[in-house]
Every structure is written in C-alpha cells, then in structure tokens.
Amino acid sequence: MNGTTPAADGRRDRVVVVTGAGRGLGRAHALAFAAEGARVVVNDLGTALDGWGRADGPDGPAHTVAEEIRAAGGDAVAHTGDIATEEGAASLVATALDTYGRLDTLVNNAGFLRDRMLVNLTGDDWDAVLRVHAKGHFLTLRQAAAYWRTLAKEGRPAAARVVNTTSGAGLLGGVGQGNYAAAKAAVVALTLVAAAELAPYGVQVNAIAPAARTRMTEGTFAGLTARPDEVSPLVVWLGSADSAGVTGRVFEAEAGRVTVMEGWHPGPTATAPGPGPGWTPATVGPAARALLTRATEPRPVYGARPPAP
C-alpha cells in the first residue's frame, strides 16, 4: 500500500470517490466535495436510466463532471469502470491510490431503475437492479475496507468514511419497485454490518435516503421539486472527519430537512402461557391480534392506495 499519511481532520484535502457521479445526486455530491477542497474520483458508466448502454468515452458524464471540477479550480479524475464487477471496484480504489496516494471517503451512489409491478417483473429486471445497488455497494466497500484495514494494521488508522445510498423505498417499500426496494433495504443492512465490522479500523459507515428530483425520481415522484445539491451538504459532512463518532446511522435528507431514521425496535410482546407446550395455532392468533392493537401502525408503502373508508 501507499506509504503516505492519511488525511488530516476536516473536509479539505480529502480524497473522495463518488460512484454514479456523472449526473443527478452523484454529480451534486462530487461538486460539493470539490468545493470544500477535496480531490474527487468521479465514477460513472454513463448508462441510461434503466442501466442499458454505456457512455464512457471522453465525452461521457464522468469525464464531463471531472472537467467541470477542474475548470472551477478543483482536482478530479474520471473513472468509467463498472463498480458491480470485481475488476471495476478494484480499479476504482486503485485509481484513487494511484492518482492521489490515498482514499479517505467512499460515497456509494450508482444505481438505476427497472420499475415493474411484481407480476410483470422479470428475473433479469430483478438481477440487474440488485446487482448495481446491492452488489455495487458491497464490492466497492470491500475494496476500500481492505485498504483501510491495511493502514490500521500498519499503525496508521485513517479517519475513513463511507456514505451509502438507500431510499425511502428501501425503508418503507414502493409499489412497482419490488426489486429496487429489496436492493435498497439490503444497502441498509450492509451499512449496519459494515459500521460494526470496520469500526476497529477507523472507518465510519452511514447511509442516506435522499429525496431530490433527478432523472431516476421524476417518473415516480412527479411533484418532487427538491434539488440534488440540497442533499449534498449532509453527504459532505458525513464524508468528512468533522462527523467523528457518527456511524451505523440512516438519514433521510431532502430540501431543508434532515431526519434520523429509526429502524426496527421491539414492540409489544406476549409470552406463551405455561406450563405446557407453549403456543398453539389456536392460542397464538388471538395473542398476536392483541399485540397488534397495542403496536404502532406502520407507515404506508410509497404509492400504496389508501384503505377504503
């Protein structure tokens, strides 16, 4: 590994990787990090909204955003590898290390949609969306974590940060988005596990559930007007050493509002009557119904029809 010293505290001079940074939220994050003095690796394949096609040439979105940063006086390099492959994820981290000598922050943002109702959802649609969101997060995180673990074993732990991207669909579900919701729920679970496992190496791992109008959301949430750059300040803070002590959290972020999301917690509980064999189908049903009367009603799935009056 490179022998340079990890980044100092704060936001300036950090080396940041942002996946899916050619458009929308990723582009906004990359520009925001650069504006704070970070050096940015801009990753993007340049695919269409549904993941088809590729625009990874010099006129593609990754190169365009990197040039935009450089034109504003910042420092950026483009990376056009597929982060949902072993080779692409490895080359992404290698680009940061070869270009800037270290990696301080990983922002996992790349993704696309193939929305279908469950009865129309194909296996290919399922696999493609799970691949880019869940596997893409995992592979880049694993590559970055290996580098940070090596630093820690050398006695030079980094103030490293990972910001993953989930969604309201991953927290509550989304009608017509079974594949996307499952992938984004997986991102939350991965975030919690990674935060626990990587803490000894000086790595903090958090997730955001952003709400902003991008090409991914405009078809699903036509009335959404929040801009991508209104989400980026939270991402920059989470990706900096200023966020010391914050890990294993999920934040919902939209225009002017940040919310700490709270996941599954034990609710009302019942114990099987005894002595005896414990629950039976005849006794557990009434007990479960009684518990539900004391439980908090779940928030509705996005896009679900309201119950009939």
* Residues catalogued as catalytic: 167, 180, 184
Closest CA to 183 of 222, 225, 216: 216
Q: Which of 15, 17, 67 is nearest to 43 (CA)?
A: 17
Q: Retrieve residue 301's tokens.
A: 């799935």
Report helix, strand or coil for 292. Answer: helix
Which residue in the block uniquely carries the two structure tokens 């990874």?
A: 56
Question: If you compute the radius of gyration of the chain from its CA atoms, what whole number of angstroms results?
Answer: 21
Q: How many of the other CB atoms lie within 10 Å of CB of 48?
A: 11
Q: How far apart are CA 4 and CA 80, in angstroms?
A: 26
Matching residue, tokens 């294993």: 248
- Give the single-character DSSP code of 111: -
d(CA 16, CA 100): 10
Contacts 24+ apart (CB under 8 A), 131-136: 131/84, 132/51, 132/84, 132/183, 133/180, 133/183, 133/184, 133/186, 133/187, 134/183, 134/186, 134/187, 134/190, 135/84, 136/19, 136/83, 136/84, 136/89, 136/108, 136/110, 136/111
For tokens 């991207």, name the residue.
Answer: 165
Do residues 14 and 240 make contact, with C-beta atoms less than 8 angstroms apart?
A: yes
Sign of CA dihedral 156, 94, 84, 109: positive
